[in-house]
Amino acid sequence: LIDVEPSVPAGSTSLLTSTTAASLAASPLVIDVGPSVPVGDTPPVTSTTAAILTASLPSTDVGSLQQPLSNSSNTTRGMITVLEGFGRCSALKISVASAFALWLFLGLYIICENYFVPSLEAFGEILGISEDAQGATLLAVGSSSPELFTAIFGVLFFANENPGPSTNVGSALFNQCVIIGVSALVLPSIWPGQLEERAFWRDIAFYFIAIVTLGLVYDVITPGQIDLWESALLCGIWIAYVTVVIRNDGGVTNTRSRSMTGYPESPTPTPDGLAPNVVMRLGAPFEFLFRWTVPDPQARDPKIVRIFTMSIVWLGGLTYVVVEIAERIAQCFGIPPDIIGVTVLAVGTSAPDCFGSIIAAKKGKIKMAVSNAIGSNVFDCCLCVGLPFMIQCLVTGKSVEVESVGMEFLQSYLLLVLFAHVVMLWAGSYTLQQWHGKVFLSLYVGFVVSYLIFRETE
């Protein structure tokens, strides 16, 4: 007996097909479907109903009951996901969260400009290392340290949520395209964009080794997992890179002459007008917090180590909150996790690198800006991947299971951008020009678009 009361109104999608009804007619099963379904709606088949049908009628195709939804297009399903996200996240909440994240970006810029970069310059002068070496080591390590700490925290407390390479590769592409691109655009015209040829090829060589090794570790040697020796290999590449940078450094003479007594500092706009005053007022809370927690770098005897350490602490805290907000906003729009990793998380974790390089470039230190971008990529691909996985291997005593979705595509695009980078600067006599910056930014836009198409057609 089938009792369907009250009846389904005309115009709605029937719950049971004629074939299913005929099959049920021969069965003693009693099904009560109610209440009525409004006109135009598709009544869902609950998991309980499906389980009863499957158990009672093995020959019945329960999947046919959900045929209208199973035939929907990918676009329709994507729209449904977005609408469901808006159901959980109101437009007001998204707007407030976005505004708050932008405000935190202002705090990141202030801590970089007033404390972090000055402490790096002071460190470089104390250690006697050149501008490009400062960018490849001190600035790269300091600005990328929040990403490393986050990765280590993740493997220690969320060991079952190992990310794929998308965030690291996305950060590398952002660094190489956006950071170098914007640095080229903001470089004052009175400063030459000349790079050091030896430092250029040194950074490119190690970055190429890092890309190839990362691809071999994820997809070739032990696909789907990372062993202890593989993570140690990645860490070893970064250690070798830093060793080569320090041992082959030419000294800080040129940097000191330019930054202290040589070319004039880049002109800084005076805070006249509405927009600068608004920015100053918005940044006032950060100025207050930083003044009370970080020593003054302009003091007669500045505590450089404490300034550097507290700057990294602030960078890590602000970056974590920005990334968390951005990830939740992206989830509200139904964006898949790997796309979030390659775009939202990559941009968020690279914000300190970006601000550090832009500030250095505005001061005319283009060598530091470019070396920071490439040095950060070596740091991201080697130490930020290798060290957390090494710790997890030592703690668990076994290999780490990882995902490598889209690794071949990501690695191919990394190599493409690297090739374009080499050709443009080699052909331009290692001088970074403004049109180079526009090309780099276009390459990043092309990456985002092509990756979205790749994931849709995969």
Average pLDDT over all residues of the chain: 74
Work out the angle at residue 206's Cα, subtended by the Cα atoms of residues 200 and 209, and round it to the nearest 5 degrees. 140
31-32 and 400-401 as β-strands: parallel, antiparallel, unpaired?
A: unpaired
Considering only residues 52 and 292, tell me which one the structure prediction assigns the higher pLDDT: 292
Q: Which residues pair with 3 in a beta bridge?
A: 32
Taking a C-beta distance cutoff of 8 angstroms, is the pair 443, 420 a contact?
A: yes
Within a 10 A sphere around the Cβ of 180, how many other Cβ atoms? 26
31-32 and 2-3 as β-strands: parallel, antiparallel, unpaired?
A: parallel
Q: What is the pLDDT of residue 327?
A: 79
- φ/ψ region of 301 (left if φ > 0, alpha if ψ in -120 to 50, else beta) reads beta
What are the backbone angles phi and psi of residue 194, rounded to the nearest 5°? -75, 130
CA-CA distances (angstroms) from residue 234 to 389, 405, 407? 10, 20, 17
Interaxial angle between packed helices 366-378 and 228-247, expressed in degrees from 0 to 180 and rounded to the nearest 10: 160
3-state secondary structure (DSSP) of residue 431? strand
3-state secondary structure (DSSP) of residue 401? strand
Within a 10 A sphere around the Cβ of 315, how many other Cβ atoms? 26
Taking a C-beta distance cutoff of 8 angstroms, is the pair 338, 104 a contact?
A: no
pTM of the predicted model, to two decimals?
0.69
Residue 366 to residue 386: CA distance in whole angstroms: 29
Within a 10 A sphere around the Cβ of 328, how many other Cβ atoms? 17
Q: What is the pLDDT of residue 423?
A: 94
Q: What is the pLDDT of residue 248?
A: 80
| Span 13-41, pLDDT tens digits | 444 444 444 444 444 444 444 444 444 44
Q: Is residue 379 scored above 70 in pLDDT?
A: yes
What are the backbone angles phi and psi of residue 74, rounded to the nearest 5°? -60, -40
Residue with tokens 């104390």: 126
| Span 57-112, pLDDT tens digits | 444 443 443 444 334 444 444 444 444 444 467 788 888 888 898 898 888 888 88
Q: How far apart are the first and last CA of the chain?
A: 46
Residue 249: which residues within 8 A CB-CB, separation 6 or more?
A: 129, 130, 133
What are the backbone angles phi and psi of residue 397, rounded to the nearest 5°? 75, 20
Considering only residues 146 and 322, tell me which one the structure prediction assigns the higher pLDDT: 322
**Reported confidence tier of residue 206, pLDDT bands at 50, 70, 90:** very high
Sign, CA torsion 133/138/141/144: negative
| Span 407-424, pLDDT tens digits | 778 888 999 999 999 999
| Span 183-196, pLDDT tens digits | 999 888 766 678 88
What are the backbone angles phi and psi of residue 385, rounded to the nearest 5°? -95, -45
- φ/ψ region of 294 (left if φ > 0, alpha if ψ in -120 to 50, else beta) reads beta
DSSP code of residue 92: H
On the CB side of 25, CA atoms within 13 Å amount to: 7
Please confirm whether the linkage preceding 223 is cis (ω < 30° from 0): no
Q: What is the pLDDT of residue 110?
A: 87
